[in-house]
Structure 1
């Protein structure tokens, strides 16, 4: 149970730190550094993904944590409540279903994370298009936003996989 685990403190602290680093890294990887390409880090979702991927013995409702993180993400970064509030738990849910089909290793983590991030950014883009919040073309989004975003986030996954695996296994 989560009530007797140090994860009840580590999980929300990790979400808060990841939210902070999402904004900080976004500033570093702004378009002025890479002209027409936009690298959008998603460390908040990566932290939730690692929790979903590595925590096995503890009965944790990661979808609820994803909804809370999505709500905070919406309030702080987008100003429109609802997009990430629903997309984060949906991506975690789909990730859990895929997780049951694959083994727990870095290759399956990359595949599942790639699918989850694609879902997050595609749904977010189309939600923004429906609300006329973006005039970006679909092809520009795929080439200049989604592609670089997937690359940088997969790099973060590869770099943080072993340290987070060790952390979650010690806390599990």
Structure 2
């Protein structure tokens, strides 16, 4: 039961930290993340949501409401298009749920599902910006100069943060009672 679990505190704090770090890392490492013609997008919030789905066991964290809330904060603070991330974060949670039915919960399956989530998330994000003329980059250039570096960065995040996040969840789930 989520409300009696340590995850009641750990999950929102982790989500906030990831939301903060997405912006902070993009600011601090801007010369690395955004050196022409390449750009990398840090998606720690997606990583937290996807790994939370896999590590929640039988607690059933209300991921969709948290994804909507994180999307609203992201839209208001970073994006400038209200509603894009409110839609995309819950979509990624649902895609993760659907894909996880067909694969085991192994490290390789999780990284593959995260890979698919990032591709879908970033491509929908690109299309939305393209439709409202915020970007005029061609799809081929987007694939090479934005999606590929973004995938590389976020897969590195996944590999580096998988075990610490799993350890946090194991600690939080070790004793369900506070």
Fold shared, TM-score > 0.5 on shorter chain: yes
Count of aligned pairs: 172
**Cα distance in 1, alignment partners of residues 35 and 82 from structure 2:** 29
Q: Describe the superposition over 1:21-79 as per-residue Cα deviations: whole angstroms up to 9, x where unpaired.
A: 10121124425664321111101111111111111210222121111111111111112
Task: Please name the residue that 2:144 is paired with.
Answer: 143
Q: Which moved more, 1:86-95 or 1:33-42?
A: 33-42
**Cα distance in 2, alignment partners of residues 3 and 23 from structure 1:** 29
**Cα distance in 2, alignment partners of residues 60 and 15 from structure 1:** 12
Q: Given that residues 55 and 169 in structure 1 are in contact (C-alpha distance below 8 angstroms), is that contact kept between their aligned partners in structure 2?
A: no
Considering only aligned residues, what root-mean-square deviation do their CA atoms show, in Å? 1.4
Task: Please name the residue that 2:46 is paired with.
Answer: 45
Q: Given that residues 31 and 37 in structure 1 are in contact (C-alpha distance below 8 angstroms), is that contact kept between their aligned partners in structure 2?
A: no
**Cα distance in 2, alignment partners of residues 156 and 106 from structure 1:** 14
Deviation at 1:129, TM superposition (A): 1.0
Task: Please name the residue that 1:10 is paired with.
Answer: 10
**Segments of 4+ in structure 1 off by > 6 A?**
none
Q: Which moved more, 1:64-73 or 1:114-123?
A: 64-73
TM-score normalised to the size of structure 1?
Answer: 0.94
Aligned to 2:101, the other structure's residue is in SS state helix
Within 5 A, what are the aligned runs for 1:25-64? 25-31=25-31, 34-64=35-65
Task: Please name the residue that 1:94 is paired with.
Answer: 95
**Cα distance in 1, alignment partners of residues 28 and 145 from structure 2:** 17
Task: Please name the residue that 1:22 is paired with.
Answer: 22
Provide structure 1 residue ranges, at least 5 long, that are not aligned to the other structure.
none
Provide structure 2 residue ranges, at least 5 long, that are not aligned to the other structure.
174-178
Q: Which moved more, 1:32-41 or 1:111-120?
A: 32-41
Within 5 A, what are the aligned runs for 1:113-152? 113-152=114-153
Higher relative contact order (CA 8 A, sep 6+): 2
Q: Describe the superposition over 1:87-145 as per-residue Cα deviations: whole angstroms up to 9, x where unpaired.
A: 11111101111112111121011100000011110001101111111111111111010
TM-score normalised to the size of structure 2?
Answer: 0.91
